[in-house]
């Protein structure tokens, strides 16, 4: 079983998944990541706890996660957790209120992945998002991207622009894929795709979204018909893929050839 260290780290003794690899996977995610045992005792809290809830990560280690929730939401949380531990794998998203360190309330969306039976992990992993503020700020891995784009279009003034920024990959996949594509597909398998598919129905886009995919979403959201331009839904590349290389000479050549 994973156990918390004195500074909010998590240790996996005698397991293939090392602490270093675990930290690399979760500590730079935009979500708050929590790990608990089968009794809801937190064994890992990512650094984003301070940004989202105002608590340093180490303050949660060894405590029951329900302690940080609004008292009125705790019975629902206990019932939801019992269902989570009884069913391995991804659970349905739940929304609960947490008490910030300053006393204010935060609306949180939580997606749990029960990995208690996995001998290399042995915890329940929670991806937690702050959904207190209205709108699309901080939202990603949306299960219904067409609806999101349609809402953005509705918020746009006449002649306005919706800018979509995504990882720069090749326009088409060619096996076995470049270094960046393999990295992004790793992110997709471990985090983005499961998160996006936890809520159904889902487009199951994952991390890698190629121009043709974005174009189809934009057209389905009626961008072209509303704006009247055949090129309105055309993605604009900011950098060529060749520029995203660790070799300074190759990167310079790629930028000069634009």
Query: In the prediction, which pLDDT does 238 show?
Result: 44
Please report, rounded to a whole number, the percentage of residues in the chain having pLDDT higher than 70: 71
∠ CA 82-109-125 to the nearest 5 degrees?
55
C-alpha–C-alpha distance, residues 114 and 77, integer Å: 15
- Which tokens belong to 120? 């290399």
* Coil vs helix vs strand at 90: strand
In the predicted structure, residue 46 carries a pLDDT above the cut 70: yes
Q: What is the pLDDT of residue 8?
A: 44
For 80, 86, 172, the CA distances from 110, given in Å and listed in that order, are 11, 17, 34
Round to whole Å and give the CA distance between 144 and 202. 6
Band the pLDDT of 120: cuts 50, 70, 90. Answer: confident
What distance in Å separates the CA atoms of residue 53 and residue 127, rounded to the nearest whole number? 14
Compute the mean pLDDT over every residue in the chain, rounded to the nearest whole number. 75
Q: What residues contact residue 101 under an 8 Å CB cut-off, 6+ apart?
A: 53, 54, 55
User: pLDDT digits over 108-118, tens only?
Assistant: 999 999 999 98
pLDDT digits (tens, 9 = 90+) for 81-94: 999 999 999 999 99
Residue 34 has pLDDT above 60, yes or no: yes
Residue 225 clears pLDDT 60, i.e. is over it: no
Domains of the chain, first to last: 3-130 (3.30.450.20), 145-256 (no CATH)
CA distance 66 to 83: 15
Of 239 and 57, the structure prediction assigns the larger pLDDT to 57
Does the pLDDT at position 152 exceed 60?
A: yes
> For the ranges 48-57, 162-171, 182-191, 236-245, which has the lowest average pLDDT?
236-245
With a CB cutoff of 8 Å and minimum separation 6, the contacts of 203 are 142, 143, 144, 145, 146, 196, 217
Contact 234, 224 (CB under 8 A): no
């Amino acid at each position: 079983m994973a156990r918390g260290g004195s500074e909010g780290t998590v240790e996996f003794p005698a397991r293939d998944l090392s602490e270093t690899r675990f930290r690399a996977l979760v500590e730079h995610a935009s979500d708050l990541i929590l790990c608990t045992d089968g009794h809801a005792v937190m064994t890992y809290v990512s650094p984003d706890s301070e940004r989202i809830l105002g608590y340093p990560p180490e303050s949660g280690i060894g405590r029951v996660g329900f302690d940080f929730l609004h008292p009125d939401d705790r019975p629902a949380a206990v019932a939801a957790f019992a269902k989570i531990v009884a069913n391995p794998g991804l659970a349905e998203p739940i929304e609960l209120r947490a008490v910030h360190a300053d006393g204010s309330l935060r609306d949180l969306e939580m997606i749990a992945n029960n990995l208690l039976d996995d001998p290399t992990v042995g915890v329940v992993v929670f991806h937690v998002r702050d959904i207190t503020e209205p709108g699309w700020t901080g939202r990603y891995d949306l299960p219904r991207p067409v609806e999101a784009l349609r809402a953005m279009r509705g918020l746009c003034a006449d002649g306005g622009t919706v800018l979509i920024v995504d990882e720069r990959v090749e326009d088409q996949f060619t096996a076995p894929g470049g270094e960046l594509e393999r990295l992004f597909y790793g992110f997709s398998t471990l985090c983005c795709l499961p998160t996006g598919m936890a809520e159904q129905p889902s487009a199951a886009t994952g991390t890698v979204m190629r121009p043709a995919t974005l174009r189809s979403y934009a057209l389905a959201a009626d961008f072209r018909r509303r704006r009247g331009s055949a090129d309105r839904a055309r993605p604009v590349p900011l950098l060529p893929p060749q520029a995203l290389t660790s070799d300074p000479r190759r990167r310079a050549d790629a930028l000069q050839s634009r």
